[in-house]
């Protein structure tokens, strides 16, 4: 069955628009943080997988870093292990850490690998513990109120931050046809495991490999101004102004700080995009307008 002329022209138009970006980004590394609705909805999962496989097929080097908070919460509930949060961080005792490793390093990581393989890619799943890839250190939170003479140090258990990343594994996979899928678990010098925020790991990996783009999939449309409109084409200076005047606050701050750190560390641009949109990654990488919010250290087109 042949397609009608209008459909054929639309396809040709899309391919023509994509061509300059394929040419520009061939050989470049793009790090994608995968989480939120895009990880749960079946249609969104498959559109995400096809986007990543297409990027690899046209000569780009996609790297996927994933979260798994809802899946961890679900298994903790089934096992009747109580879980709490402090400033958005899951308090992680040894029992919770066992569940985190099972879910992130096992269940979720392998589901994403299978999803990419099913859609024509060749993916390999790793955690930060493989090949001493992510060296972590314990994260501590401090809190101070007006009544306190000294800040309170809050122990949130086996929650870590990135101390260093060993590039050997990523470099090896980049030079092959494989797509790395990274679970954000690290270990310290003594081998103790740590649960690390996936946005932070994605930003550090992007900086390490000199990525062209860091794409953070979220459950919101992007960064909004005071009028509630999504803004893009932001410089790091403009973002800092929006933080200072309270336009950006609360739950958006960790993602924004991750994007700022990556761009200030040499990543060309960071994008915060809506993972609830089918083919969100493809639309961001291959179209003139893109979607969501782009942050750079200078004024760029895309």
pLDDT recorded at residue 301: 46
Round the average pLDDT of the chain to a whole number and report it: 87
Note the pTM of the prediction, 2 decimals. 0.89
Edge-first strand order for the sheet with 179-183 is: 123-127, 179-183, 61-66, 29-34, 213-218, 269-274, 293-296, 234-235
CA distance linking residue 207 with residue 240, whole number of Å: 20
Alpha-carbon radius of gyration of the chain: 20
Predicted confidence at residue 142, as pLDDT, reads: 76
Q: What is the DSSP-derived secondary structure letter of residue 225?
A: -
pLDDT tens per residue, range 128-181 = 999 899 999 998 877 766 666 677 788 888 999 999 999 888 888 877 889 999
| Per-residue pLDDT at 10 | 66
pLDDT at 89 over 80: no
Fold of domain 25-296: Carbamate kinase (3.40.1160)
What is the pLDDT averaged over residues 15-35?
A: 86
Number of residues written out for the chain: 302
Q: Mention every residue, 6+ apart, whose C-beta is less than 8 A from residue 9.
A: none
Strands 89-90 and 85-86 turn out to be: antiparallel
pLDDT given at position 79:
93
Given a cut of 70, whether residue 7 has pLDDT beyond it is no
Domain borders along the chain are: 25-296
Residue of 294 and 152 predicted with greater confidence:
294
C-beta neighbour count of 138 within 10 angstroms: 15
| Mean pLDDT in residue range 13-24 | 77
Q: Kind of pairing, strands 213-218 and 269-274?
A: parallel
Better pLDDT: 191 or 84 = 191
Task: Give the tens place of pLDDT for each residue, 31-86.
Answer: 999 987 778 888 899 999 999 999 999 999 999 999 998 889 899 999 999 888 87
């Amino acid at each position: 069955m042949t397609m009608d002329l209008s459909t054929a022209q639309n396809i040709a138009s899309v391919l023509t628009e994509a061509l300059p970006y394929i040419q520009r980004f061939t050989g470049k590394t793009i790090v994608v943080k995968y989480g939120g609705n895009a990880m749960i909805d079946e249609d969104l999962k498959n559109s995400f997988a096809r986007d990543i496989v297409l990027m690899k097929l046209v000569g780009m080097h996609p790297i996927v870093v994933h979260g798994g908070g809802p899946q961890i919460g679900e298994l903790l509930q089934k096992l009747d292990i109580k879980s709490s949060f402090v400033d958005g961080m899951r308090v992680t005792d040894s029992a919770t850490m066992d569940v985190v490793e099972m879910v992130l390093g096992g269940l979720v990581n392998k589901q994403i690998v299978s999803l990419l393989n099913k859609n024509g890619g060749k993916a390999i799943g790793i955690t930060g513990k493989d090949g001493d890839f992510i060296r972590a250190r314990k994260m501590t939170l401090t809190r101070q109120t007006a009544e306190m003479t000294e800040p309170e140090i809050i122990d949130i258990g086996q929650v870590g931050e990135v101390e260093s990343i060993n590039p050997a594994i990523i470099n090896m996979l980049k030079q092959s046809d494989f797509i790395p899928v990274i679970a954000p678990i690290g270990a310290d010098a003594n081998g103790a495991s740590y649960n690390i925020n996936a946005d932070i790991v994605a930003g550090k990996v992007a900086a390490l490999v000199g990525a062209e783009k860091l794409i953070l999939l979220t459950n919101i449309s992007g960064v909004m101004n005071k009028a509630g409109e999504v803004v893009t084409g932001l410089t790091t200076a403009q973002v800092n102004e929006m933080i200072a005047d309270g336009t950006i606050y609360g739950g958006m701050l960790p993602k924004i700080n991750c994007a700022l750190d990556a761009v200030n560390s040499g990543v060309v641009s960071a994008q915060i995009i809506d993972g609830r949109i089918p083919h969100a990654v493809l639309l961001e990488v291959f179209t003139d307008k893109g979607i969501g919010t782009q942050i750079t250290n200078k004024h760029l087109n895309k």
